[in-house]
Amino acid sequence: MAEMMAQGETPDILFWVGCSGSFDDRAKKITKAVVKILNKCDVKFAVLGTEESCTGDPAKRAGNEFTFQMQAMMNIQVLDGYEVKKIVTACPHCFNTLKNEYPELGGNYEVIHHTQLIQGLINDGKLGVEGGVYKGKKITFHDPCYLGRANDVYEAPRELIEKLDAELIEMKRCKTNGLCCGAGGAQMFKEAEKGNKEINVERTEDALETNANIIATGCPFCNTMMTDGVKNFNKEGEIQVLDVAELIANAADL
């Protein structure tokens, strides 16, 4: 972002990478897939790079409103400093926080999830994915809670999967009934309470029941949880866990 501004350019959209997308090795691949798509479509975008900081989502869900608001206010200062108007992110937690919780602290932006942005690019004819490597593959989609129930986005990722000429198979619990992967509400950062099963294992069972080749999702946390779940059943050879952005990037041969 700083570089772009130095050259006197203003980007059309800011790509909010998020902490997972920046630091987690698996999630970095999703970040790269998004960037490839943006570049391919000549979207003028920027990232904050080292000026980006955690949105504060996990602190807020864990009950620490102080840390959340400190993070939020710092981020809002940076974003407003660059006069950011529109933000895309590949993390539903960042998406939810930026979109719903920043306005009350003075940060007003148009925030979209990457699946919504990509859907727009394809519908505008800027990107074609028909008949790519996923033609005829069976794909199931796991709804991230913070994209689906929390923000009512159910169709954008599904439409993208259908664009791949793939067969979209729904799990028995999907959309509003979708089962959580177990990572939300700051659970990602702690051991689960005592119980008789891990939530991600329960959810992976739903996915395996569909006999899909691929579990698609739209959240780096869900990705981790589902990947671990698949490992738990030793099914890594049979079923892949991929972000919708990766599916699109691969199908478009980027």
Partner 1 sequence: MVTILIFAVLSLVGFGFFAWNISKVRSNILLGKEIDRTDNRSDRWKTMLLVAFGQKKMFTRPIPALLHLCLYVAFVITQIELIEIIADGLTGNHRMFHDALGGFYTFMISFIEILSVLAFIATVAFLARRNLLKLPRLNMKELAGWPAKDANLILIAEITLICFIFMMNGADEVLYSQGKSHLEGQGSLGFSISSFVGPMLFGSVSESGLHLIERIGWWGHILMVFGFLNYLPYSKHFHIVLAFPNTWYSNLEKKGKFTNMASVTAEVKLMMDPTADPYAAAPADAEPQRFGAKDVTDLTWKNLLDAYTCTECGRCTSSCPANQTGKLLSPRKIMMDTRDRLVEVGEGIRKNGKDFNDGKSLIGDYITAEEIWACTSCNACVQECPVNIDPLSIIVDLRRYLVMEESKMPSELAGMVTNIENNGAPWQFSPADRLNWRDEN
Q: By CB under 8 A, which span of 53-61, 116-124, 125-133, 233-241 interacts with partner 1?
A: 53-61
145 is a site residue for partner 1 (CB under 8 A): yes
* Shortest reach from residue 52's CB to partner 1, in Å: 6
Q: By CB under 8 A, which span of 64-72, 119-127, 207-215, 232-240 interacts with partner 1?
A: 64-72
Query: Which of 5, 32, 120, 250 is the binder for partner 1 (CB under 8 A)?
Result: 32
Residue type, 104: E
* C-beta separation of 181 from 148 below 8 A: no
Q: By CB under 8 A, which span of 23-31, 119-127, 207-215, 237-245 interacts with partner 1?
A: 23-31
Nearer to partner 1 by C-beta: 64 or 250?
Answer: 64
Nearer to partner 1 by C-beta: 100 or 123?
Answer: 100
Q: Residues 37-74, buried b or exposed e (16+ Cβ, 10 A)? A: bbebbebebbbbeeebebbbbbbbbeeeeeebbebbee
Q: By CB under 8 A, which span of 61-69, 79-87, 128-136, 155-163 interacts with partner 1?
A: 61-69
Q: Compute the Cα dihedral for 184, 34, 112, 203 and give only its sign.
A: negative
User: Would you list the DSSP string of 142-162?
Assistant: PPPTTTTTTT---HHHHHHHH
Query: Which of 37, 41, 45, 60 is the binder for partner 1 (CB under 8 A)?
Result: 60
Radius of gyration of the chain (CA): 18
Site map for partner 1, 174-213, x if CB under 8 A?
A: --xx-xx-xxxxxxxxxxxxxxxxxx--xx----------
12 is a site residue for partner 1 (CB under 8 A): no
Instruction: Determine how many CB atoms are found less than 10 A away from the CB of residue 213.
Output: 17
The rounded distance, in Å, linking the Cα atoms of 229 and 185 is 19
* Shortest reach from residue 160's CB to partner 1, in Å: 21
Nearer to partner 1 by C-beta: 43 or 150?
Answer: 150
Phi/psi for 47 (5° steps) reads -120, 160
Please name which of 117, 94, 103 lies closest in space to residue 220, comparing C-alpha atoms.
94
Query: Which of 9, 12, 80, 104 is the binder for partner 1 (CB under 8 A)?
Result: 104
Q: Is 104 exposed, middle or buried (0-12, 13-18, 19+ CB in 10 A)?
A: exposed
Site for partner 1, rule CB under 8 A? 17, 19, 21-23, 28, 31-32, 47, 49-50, 52-54, 56, 58-67, 69-71, 73-74, 96, 99-101, 104-105, 145-146, 149-152, 176-177, 179-180, 182-199, 202-203
